[in-house]
Amino acid sequence: MFKSYHKLFISSVLVVAGTSSTIFAAQSSVSNTYDNGKRVIDGGVTYPVTNGKTASYHINEETLKGGYAYGKKATENEIKAWDIDVMPDGTGLPEGKGTVEEGDELYEAKCVSCHGDFGSGSGSYPALAKGNAEEGVATLKNQRTKPDMDGPIRVFGTYWPQASTLWWYIKTGMPHAAPLSLTDDEVYALSAYMLSINEMTIDGEELDDEYELDREKFLKIKMPNKDGFVPNIDGPKGTDNMRDYMSNPKNYGNGTRCMKNCFEGEPVLAKIQTEIKEFSPPLSTVRELPKADASATPASEGAKIYEASCAVCHATDAMGAPAVGDKKAWEAVLKKGIDTVHKNAIIGINAMPPKGGNANLTDDQLKAAVDFMIDQSK
Ligand code: HEC
Ligand code: HEC
């Protein structure tokens, strides 16, 4: 499941990196604007495009045939560099080793601040262990059909179907602030510690402090919830499995399909997290809409007039007009007093034409526009 997500991520990164220059290069090649068939934008590296032309970025020839030339096909080596998946069959899992004790020390140094003592969780940071993973799995399963008021205990040991995800997750994602900072041996040590605090066994063997985890032993881990993901949606039978599963109402709820009057009395709902009962302010309160001020000319009218008749000169100071947003310029203007300023806008002043050149505007509309401009320049 992580694999496909990961690949998607890779391709989108490549697309982003190449997008703007790629479009540019592709369009240029179509309209033949290359100098001597070459265009060097950055770093002097050129790639072939079409008809002997080159560009600074690879072009995805497939997309050139129609539409935009976004991105390019990733090369084998690029995929190799990005592909740091660790798969259940051992693909991507490097050699290395580490003991539970070493993992314990690393955990105390790098993980305990967020994940709590012995993986007990702290605040909103996830718990990594809740005692024996086997027993935890039983709680999870019960939860689906016999809702347990205490909620399920869902941690990596009880939930995750594959141990490979643990190795990959710690290696690429933890510690949260410094991903990819741990060595392979450190990840083995931390994984060993994770398994020990989840009270898991490998090949029947308990993981005491001296237990040393390596690649070979890691691949023997059987996660307690390995078969807990039903129905099996992988493979050619996936859809049929899904139909079978969904057609048996015992697989969810209380076993009866029901749209109304489903419960006698109050329904018993599973509480997954602590219920929040008190909201402040309460979720539903009657609120009054602000009252419209009928006396004022709506600000939006001033804004509209400004956009239509004044912005052409007042959006910047390029025309010698006080620019809207320029606090200092308007402070200087306003020294004359608002009445004079209103009047000047109506009769004109120097390069400022009467009514901004729009004789159709009424005096009030002019004033509204001026007030809007002043308001935007405070
Ligand atoms: C700064 C806080 C922080 C530190 C330090 C940290 N983690 Fe985490 N860890 C998180 C957060 C947050 C998540 C949940 C991420 C998410 O769900 O997107 C997480 C998730 C995990 C998970 C997956 C849990 C699950 O069941 O989904 C594992 C395993 C894990 N961390 C191991 C470690 C290890 C090992 C270390 C030390 C090397 C470590 N973390 C250090 C914050 C931290
Ligand atoms: C053709 C360009 C142009 C247009 C259009 C224009 N103005 Fe002006 N405006 C100016 C210039 C230039 C000044 C500076 C005049 C001076 O002080 O020398 C100015 C100054 C002003 C002042 C300050 C007057 C003062 O007393 O200093 C106000 C207020 C004003 N314009 C409002 C408006 C309004 C409202 C509109 C739209 C209805 C508008 N202007 C349209 C060019 C323009």
320, two tokens: 């010698």
Q: What confidence tens digit (pLDDT) does each residue in 202-224 have?
A: 999 999 999 999 999 999 999 99
Tell me, what's the pLDDT at 58? 61
Q: CA-CA distances (angstroms) from residue 329 to 25, 47, 317, 352, 356?
A: 45, 52, 9, 15, 18
Atom 43, ligand 1: residue with shortest CA distance: 176
Residue listed under structure tokens 């982003």 = 16
pLDDT computed for residue 289 by the predictor? 67
Burial level of 28, CB count in 10 A (0-12/13-18/19+)?
middle
Q: What is the pLDDT of residues 110-123, one digit of tens each?
A: 999 999 999 988 88
Quick check: CB of 276 below 6 Å from ligand 1? no
Q: Residues near 173 by Cβ (< 8 Å), separated by ≥ 6?
A: 179
Cβ neighbours of 73 (radius 10 Å)? 13
Q: What spacing in Å lies between the alpha carbon of 356 and ligand 1's midpoint?
A: 63
Lowest mean pLDDT of 36-40, 70-74, 169-173, 271-275, name the range: 36-40
Closest residue CA from atom 25 of ligand 1: 156
Residue 271 confidence (pLDDT)? 58
Structure tokens at 167: 């190795």
pLDDT on residue 228: 80
| pLDDT value, residue 103 | 97
Most confident of 29-33, 182-186, 266-270, 323-327: 182-186
Q: Minimum-distance ligand to the CA of 129?
A: 1
Judge if the beta carbon of residue 262 lies within 6 A of ligand 2: no
Lowest mean pLDDT across 27-31, 189-193, 252-256, 282-286 = 27-31
Residue 160 alpha carbon to ligand 1 centre in Å: 14
Taking CA atoms, 270 is separated from 144, 153, 253, 324, in Å, by 9, 13, 11, 58
Best mutation site among 158, 176, 183, 195 for ligand 1 pocket (most ligand atoms within 8 Å of CB): 176
Q: Which ligand ends up closest to the CA of 356? A: 2
Residue 136 is predicted with a pLDDT of 81
Per-residue pLDDT at 367 = 93
| Residue written as token pair 């933890």 | 174
- Ligand 2 centroid to residue 352 C-alpha, Å: 4
Ligand 1 midpoint to CA 95 (Å): 23
Question: pLDDT tens digits for 256-309?
Answer: 667 777 667 776 665 555 566 666 666 666 666 666 666 655 557 888 899 888
pLDDT of residue 108: 95
Residue entry with tokens 């709820």: 253
Q: Rounded distance, CA 211 to CA 227, Å?
A: 27
Q: Is the pLDDT of residue 49 over 50?
A: yes
Q: Quick check: 42 pLDDT over 50?
A: no
